[in-house]
A = this chain, B = another copy of it.
Amino acid sequence: MKELILNLIEQDKYAQVRKEIIKINIVDIAQILEELDTQKVLLVFRILPKEIAAGVFSYMPNDLQRYIVESITDKEIENILNKLFLDDKIDFLEEMPSNFVKKVLKNTDEKTRNLINQFLNYPEDSAGSKMTIEYVDLKKEMTVRQAIEHIKATGIDKETIDTCYVINKNRILEGVITIRKLILSEDTAIVKDIMQTDVIYINTYDDQEKIASLFKKYDFISMPVVDNERRLVGIITIDDIIDIIDQENTEDLQKMAAMEPSEEEYLKTNVLVLAKHRITWLLILMISATFTGNIIRRFNDVLTSVVVLNSFIPMLMDTGGNAGSQSSTLIIRGLALGEINLTDIFKVLWKEFKVSFFVGVILASVNFLRIYYFEKIDFLVAVAVSITLFFTVMLSKIVGGVLPMVAKFFKVDPAIMAGPLITTIVDAVVLIIYFNMATLLLGI
C-alpha cells in the first residue's frame, strides 16, 4: 500500500494519491511524507482532506512540521492548529521559534490564548505540560441517558471519551465512569450511584516519572489531572506515557554510560552537542584515573623486580569493572522500577556478598589453573594474582550494589553510579590489594 502510494507520488498522479492515501493510517501517511523530497511534501500535504491533515501533522517530526508551517499560508496554519488536540499543539509550539508562537497566539481567541500560555508555563516534564483538555466531564446528578446525550453532543472533539470524569459544581473531581459502564447500565440510573469514587489522580506539578509509575501500577488508559484545590484541569492518556517511559529509560542509559542525558535522536543531534554531552564525564573520569597512576608509581619497585606482575593489571582492572557494572546495573534498574527500596540495603549487601563469593571463587580458580598450568607463571605470582582477583570481584560487586542505593539516599540519581564511575573507584583499590598481596607473598 505504502509502496503503491509512493509510486503514484513519483508519477505525480495526485488524484489517485488522494484516493488511496485516505485509506491508510495517519501515522503511515506522516511516514510517507517524511520520505518525500521537500518540494513534494507540500503538494501531498495539501491534498490531504482537512479532517486528517491535523492528525498527520501531529505525527510528523519537528523539522518537517516547521518546514510546513513556514511554507503554507496563515489561513492554512490556523486550520491545522484549530484541529490539533491541545497537548499536540503545545508539543508543537514548544519546538517553534518564539516569534512564530507569538504570531499564532495573536491569531487565536483570548480564551485559547490564555490556555496555551498557561500550558507553556508549566515546568517541562510536569503533568501540566503533558496533559490535554479534551476530556468529557459529567455532572454527578445526571442520569445515564443524560450523560450519553451529553457525550454525543460534546464528544466528537474529545481525544478520549472512554473514561468520563464526574465533577461537582465547583469542578472538584468526585468520580470516574467508563463509557462501558454507562452503556451497560440502565438509562435511568444516576451517575453518582454507579461511578467509581476511589479516583486516583495526578497533580499538575507531578513529575512525569511519578505519572508513569502510577499508570504502570494501576493499568489505566487515562488519568485525571487536578490542581491544588482538586479541581479537574486536564487528563493524561496512556500513549503519552509510553513515550515518557522510553524517554526515562533512554535518560537512565545515557547517565549509566557517563553522558549528559538528551531527548534528541542521535542522528538529528549536532556533532558539537554530542561532543559536549560526552566530554564532561570523560574529563572527570580521566582525571580521577590519576590516582591509579599514582598508586602504580608508588609501587614501581615491586613492578620492576617482578616484571610479569604488570601483565595482569589490565585483566584485574577489567574484571573488576565488569563485575561492578553487573551489580550496579541490576540495582539501578531495580530502584528505577520500584522493585528495590532503600530499606532493602542490607538484603542487597548480603546477596551481593554471597553472589560475589561464588563468582569470585570460580573466576579465581579458573584464572589460577590457566596462568599456572598453561602460561607457566611462577606459583606464588599465580597465587597472588588469583587471590587479588577474588577480592576484586567481592569488592566491586559490593561497591556496585551499594553505591546506587547510597546515591538514592542522598537524592542523587542512582544511574550515575554505573559502570564508568564504579570502574574508576574499584581500579584504585584493586591495585592496592594487588601490590600488597604481591609484596607479601613474593617477599619483595
Chain A positions within 8 Å of B, measured between CB atoms, are: 23-25, 27, 148, 151-152, 155-156, 161-162, 179-180, 183-184, 197-198, 200, 215-219, 221, 238-239, 241-243, 245-246, 249-250, 253-254, 256-259, 265-267, 271-272, 274-275, 278-279, 281-283, 285-287, 289-290, 292-294, 296-297, 300, 303-304, 307-308, 310-315, 317-319, 321-323, 325-326, 328-331, 333-334, 337, 339-340, 344, 347-348, 351, 354-355, 358-359, 362-363, 366-367, 370, 375, 393, 419-420, 423-424, 427, 431
Contacts and interface: CB of A to CB of B under 8 A. Distances in A.
A265 B338 CA distance: 10
Contacts of A289: 314-315, 318-319
B217 A27 contact: yes
B245 A319 contact: no
Given A266-B340, A314-B293, A419-B325, A183 B151 contact: yes
A440 to B, nearest CB: 21
Nearest to A241: B242
B303 A420 contact: no
Contacts of A151: 183-184
This protein's copies in its complex: 2
B162 A278 contact: no
Contact of A254 (B330, B339, B363): B330
A7 to B, nearest CB: 18
B216 A367 contact: no
A257 B218 contact: no
A311 B296 contact: yes
A355 B34 CA distance: 27
Contacts of A367: 286
A221 B162 contact: yes
A333 B375 CA distance: 40
A314 B427 contact: yes
B218 A25 contact: yes
A325 B218 contact: no
Given A311-B294, A326-B259, A271 B303 contact: no
A300 B310 CA distance: 9
Among A200, A272, A286: residue with most chain B CB under 10 A: A286
A313 B155 CA distance: 67
Given A256-B329, A282-B319, A286-B319, A300 B307 contact: yes
A183 B347 CA distance: 54
Contacts of A317: 314, 317-318
A337 B246 contact: yes
A266 B331 contact: yes
B271 A358 contact: yes
Contacts of A300: 307, 310-311
Contact of A303 (B184, B218, B310): B310
A339 to B, nearest CB: 5
Nearest to A212: B242
